[in-house]
């Protein structure tokens, strides 16, 4: 497990005004990066978009799969693209997921629409001469087989994600403990065969989204969604998980890193399956790591 400190302070650590350099060469496995400031944290997340899109050529289209949670990086992506004049003609983007109501993905008029958020905070703000062609923006809202196949036709340099309180990335929640899984969850190998699909969300995930996005309005949050799956995730060259500290709790932030570093994949803790991914990176905001202590309120 490699550790890279990206904050200020000790002489051996990069100062905030130093130009961001490439990450140290770590062995295959889980890499950790810790950022001291909110500005560094979200700027680094935004720069992963630029890192991916700069690789795209006519003969080698490249993309990034990005989350809604966190979202603070999205306006920064736009600002950087516009500032450096990066033409996105051959770049691609995958949205990770979208809500489902009455058996259909929600439209962009829904207040919680992920596609709407991506467009309003990022793509619609990019200068027109630089914009990504509409056909290069992929959301899991139509033909899921075509959505999944696009990960084969186009190189996915990075899949970003957050970590939910149920320990998911995207909406890869633990499967219900009913039927054949009543006594034991599916094996990690079985879970990893899941591809882009429609899912019924875990109650913890619904509550979390009500807390973080819906102002506590639980009835506003759909109970189903479309989501990218482990199959597509393992087609990404790198999986980069961003931990600002308000999507999961201090215990959860430690649990998944421990399970991955100790190679204990368990589908009851879906994020732990990244123990078997060749290049996973956890990015922490230092102030969001918190402390696992008993504190009564």
Q: Where are the domains of the chain?
A: 2-9+27-175+183-289
pLDDT of residue 18 exceeding 70, the answer is no
More confident residue, 18 or 242: 242
pLDDT of residue 2 exceeding 80, the answer is no
pLDDT tens, position by position, 219-278: 889 999 999 999 999 999 999 999 999 999 999 999 999 999 999 999 999 999 999 999
Give the residue from 167, 231, 244, 232 showing the smallest Cα distance to 202: 167
The mean pLDDT value for 81-109 works out to 97
- Which residues, 6+ apart, have CB-to-CB distance to 163 below 8 Å? 169, 241, 243, 247, 248, 252, 253, 256, 271
pLDDT tens, position by position, 112-163: 999 999 999 999 999 999 999 999 999 999 999 999 999 999 999 999 999 9
The answer to whether domain 2-9+27-175+183-289 has CATH 3.60.15.10 is no
**pLDDT on residue 213:** 84
- Chain-centroid distance, C-alpha 149: 19
pLDDT tens, position by position, 187-201: 999 999 999 999 999
The mean pLDDT value for 169-174 works out to 97
Position 10 confidence tier, pLDDT thresholds 50, 70, 90:
very low
The mean pLDDT value for 76-81 works out to 98
Q: Strand 224-227's sheet: what is its strand order? A: 104-105, 97-101, 224-227, 197-200
Global pTM reads: 0.89
**pLDDT on residue 270:** 98
Distance between first and last Cα of the chain: 35
Structure tokens at 136: 């290069």
Position 17 confidence tier, pLDDT thresholds 50, 70, 90:
very low
**pLDDT on residue 1:** 54
pLDDT of residue 25 exceeding 60, the answer is no
More confident residue, 223 or 12: 223
User: Would you say how long the chain is, in residues?
Assistant: 297
**pLDDT on residue 101:** 96
pLDDT of residue 215 exceeding 60, the answer is yes
Give the residue from 243, 257, 254 showing the smallest Cα distance to 293: 254
**pLDDT on residue 4:** 52
Position 3 confidence tier, pLDDT thresholds 50, 70, 90:
low
């Amino acid at each position: 497990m490699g550790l890279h400190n990206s904050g200020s302070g000790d002489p051996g650590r990069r100062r905030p005004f130093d130009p961001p350099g490439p990450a140290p060469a770590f062995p295959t496995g889980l890499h950790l990066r810790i950022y001291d400031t909110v500005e560094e944290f979200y700027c680094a997340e935004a720069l992963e978009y630029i890192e991916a899109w700069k690789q795209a050529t006519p003969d080698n289209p490249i993309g990034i799969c990005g989350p809604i949670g966190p979202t603070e990086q999205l306006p920064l992506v736009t600002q950087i693209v516009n500032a450096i004049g990066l033409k996105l003609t051959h770049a691609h983007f995958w949205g990770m997921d979208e809500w489902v109501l009455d058996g259909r993905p929600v439209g962009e008029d829904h207040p919680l629409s992920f596609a709407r958020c991506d467009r309003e905070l990022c793509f619609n703000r990019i200068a027109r001469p630089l914009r990504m062609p509409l056909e290069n923006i992929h959301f899991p809202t139509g033909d899921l087989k075509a959505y999944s196949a696009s990960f084969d036709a186009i190189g996915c340099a990075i899949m970003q994600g957050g970590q939910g309180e149920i320990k998911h990335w995207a909406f890869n929640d633990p499967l219900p403990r009913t039927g054949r899984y009543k006594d034991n969850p599916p094996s990690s190998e079985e879970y990893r065969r899941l591809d882009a699909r429609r899912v019924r969300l875990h109650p913890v995930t619904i509550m979390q989204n009500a807390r973080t996005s819906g102002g506590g309005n639980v009835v506003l949050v759909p109970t189903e969604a479309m989501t990218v799956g482990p199959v597509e995730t393992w087609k990404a060259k790198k999986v980069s998980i961003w931990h600002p500290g308000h999507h999961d709790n201090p215990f959860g932030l430690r649990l998944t890193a421990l399970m991955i570093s100790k190679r204990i994949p368990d589908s009851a803790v879906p994020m732990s399956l990244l123990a078997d991914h060749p290049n996973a990176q956890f990015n922490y905001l230092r102030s969001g790591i918190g402390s696992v202590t008993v504190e009564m309120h």
